[in-house]
Every structure is written in structure tokens, then in C-alpha cells.
Amino acid sequence: MSANANSSVPGSDLSKAMDAALKPQIPNKIGIIVCSQRSPRACPQISTFVLETLKDFQKTHPSPRPYALSLIDLNDNPLPIFNEPDVPSQIKSASDYKFAHTRAWSELISSYMAFVFVTPQYNWGYPASIKNAIDYLFHEWRGKPALVVSYGGHGGGKAAVQLQQVLEAVNMKVVKDFVALQFPDRAFLYKAAHGEDLNLRVVSEEAGRERVIETENAQAILAGGDATMEAGGNTKDPVWAQESKELCTQFWELVTTLNA
Ligand SMILES: Cc1cc2nc3c(=O)[nH]c(=O)nc-3n(C[C@H](O)[C@H](O)[C@H](O)COP(=O)(O)O)c2cc1C
């Protein structure tokens, strides 16, 4: 029998393969989790910078399986300090959760297939808000890929390592290397702490990552004596240009794990 003849037989192997190839694939949802909850805070704009950087990367690096990126803000899903009577790893179904806030959180996290955790460092650790949000669930996290992006005066690496360990405890597939976004100077830290505009701009690959940063940031870096500064207050690299590359590299690890 010829391939053409076979394909016309409904239910044949070839016909099934063609149907599968033609069927539009539902994109995997990847959530960028905004891990701090205080007011004011820098986390939403840093998470948005991460989101926009990854969306830019997505344009030039198509994944074999489509994915869609979006933010998950803990402030949009407020949870009290963990108050479920049962241990989440031991429940059989989401309907076993006692509280509506847990069932809503469970439903949201279940709809995502992978996560990027964007976390500040608080006193050498991660904020209690994200530990609380993780502890509420277990099965909803289990087996899903996770990447940690930390920020702070020195990049928040201590928080990142601790968070990675917690994510392993809920059996997530944690990308080995985290991404640390180090504040360029004290002026930047002050702005972040007060929730002021950090003037973050996506450094497009297409632009060759050579855009000169805005004057305001250049001045801030100048105040901190950054070594890459050129005469006149401009620099070759905008804030977190190198880190953006690292972010895309580690994110690709996450996408690869998701597609495996
Ligand atoms: C309670 C608290 C503890 C902090 N501890 C650290 C720290 O250990 N290392 C650091 O680099 N920055 C630390 N900072 C400064 C934060 O990096 C900075 O305030 C940042 O904006 C916090 O993120 P958020 O605005 O999203 O909450 C701390 C800030 C707070 C509020």
C-alpha cells in the first residue's frame, strides 16, 4: 500500500501522525514568580525585566514545543501564614485542602509547567513570602523545572542557594546554575529598596548588546566608580547586560528540561 493510500485510512498510524502534526499544540505555561510582597518593592519591575528579556530571547530561539511566559505575583494570590491541617505531600487531591485560598493557589500553580523564581535576598536568605507560598503545595511543584534568579547588593547568591535547596525538597528539576543580578552601586540599592524606577531596559541580542545606557543610570554607576565607565558618563553595557546573557543561557536549560 502506498503512503498516500495509507494516510486516507482513518485511524491508520500515518493518519494519526499527520493529525498530531497538524493539531495546534497548546503552549506550555512558564511562570515568572514575583517572590517579594512588601510595599514598596523592586521585585515586580525586576521580574518584568526578566520576563521581557526572556520574551526577547524567545523571538530568536524557537522551542520545539511552544511556551508562553507570564508573571505570577504573590501579592495577587495572598496567602496567610501556612495554616492547612494536613501535610501537602500527603494529600491525595486538591479537594482535600481545607481552605479556599489553598485550592485557588493549587489551581494556579497546577496550570504552569515550569517556573522562574525572581527573589531578593533578605538577611542572607530568601523572603518568608516565597517559602510560605511553596510550603502550601507539593504535588503542584513536583517534577517541574525551576530556575532561580536572585538580586541584591552582591547579587543575592546566598538566598539563591537556599531557595534551590527548598525547590529540590519539593522534587522540582532545578537548573543547576542560578542567575545573580547584582546592584551596581548603593544608589541603585537605595532606589530598589524604595521601589523607585530602576530604569531597566531589555538588552536585545539583535542590538548586539551595545546600547549605551540612559544618562540617569550612567550617573548612578559613575557614582559607584564602575570600571567599564567611559569618559563622559556613558558605558558600553547597560545594567545587567552580561547577566541577561547568563539568564538566557540558564533559561534555555529550563526549556530543554521541560521539552525532554
Ligand atoms: C528585610 C530586608 C533584608 C535585606 N537584606 C539584604 C541582604 O542580606 N543582602 C542584600 O544585598 N540586600 C538586602 N536587603 C536590601 C534588598 O536587596 C533591597 O531592599 C531590595 O529592594 C529588596 O527587594 P524588594 O524591594 O523586592 O523587597 C534587604 C532588604 C530588606 C527589606
Output the ligand 1 site: residues, CB below 6 A.
36, 38, 41-43, 120-124, 152-154, 192-193
Per the prediction, the chain carries an average pLDDT of 87
pLDDT at 209 over 60: no
Q: Whose CA is nearest to atom 29 of ligand 1?
A: 122
Residue 83 has pLDDT above 60, yes or no: yes
- Nearest atom (ligand 1) to Cα of 159: 8
Say how far apart CA 121 and CA 43 lie, in whole Å. Answer: 11
229 Cβ contact partners less than 8 Å away, ≥ 6 residues apart: 218, 221, 222, 235
Task: Name the band, by pLDDT with cuts 50, 70 and 90, for residue 114.
Answer: very high
Closest CA to 77 of 141, 43, 33: 33
pLDDT band at 247 (very low <50, low <70, confident <90, very high): very high
Q: For residues 93 and 90, give the distance between their C-alpha atoms in angstroms, rounded to a whole number.
A: 9
Ligand 1 atom with the smallest distance to the CA of 153 is 11
Nearest CA to ligand 1 atom 25: 41
pLDDT for 25 equals: 81
Map grid coordinates 521585585 to a residue: 43
More confident residue, 188 or 216: 188
Closest Cα partner for 179 from 148, 218, 146?
148
Q: Please report the pLDDT score of residue 188 as a whole number.
A: 98
- CB of 103 closer than 8 Å to CB of 110: no
For the chain, how many helices (H) and strands (E)?
9, 6
The residues pairing with 12 across neighbouring beta strands, listed in sequence order, are none
pLDDT, tens digit (0-9, with 9 covering 90-100), for 165-205: 999 999 999 999 999 999 999 999 999 999 999 999 998 86
- Cβ neighbours of residue 201 closer than 8 Å, sequence gap 6 or more: 211, 213, 214, 238, 239
244 contacts 209 by C-beta, under 8 angstroms: yes
pLDDT band of residue 222 (cuts 50, 70, 90) is very low
Q: Which fold has domain 26-206+238-259?
A: Rossmann fold (3.40.50)
Q: Which residue CA neighbors atom 17 of ligand 1 most closely?
A: 152
CA of residue 122 to ligand 1 center, whole Å: 5
Mutate to test the pocket of ligand 1, among 117, 122, 163 (most ligand atoms within 8 A of CB): 122
Closest-CA residue, ligand 1 atom 16, reads 152
Which sequence spans correspond to the domains of the chain?
26-206+238-259
Per-residue pLDDT at 238? 87
Determine the pLDDT at residue 16. 67
Taking the C-alpha atoms of residue 176 and residue 32, their distance in angstroms, rounded to an integer, is 18
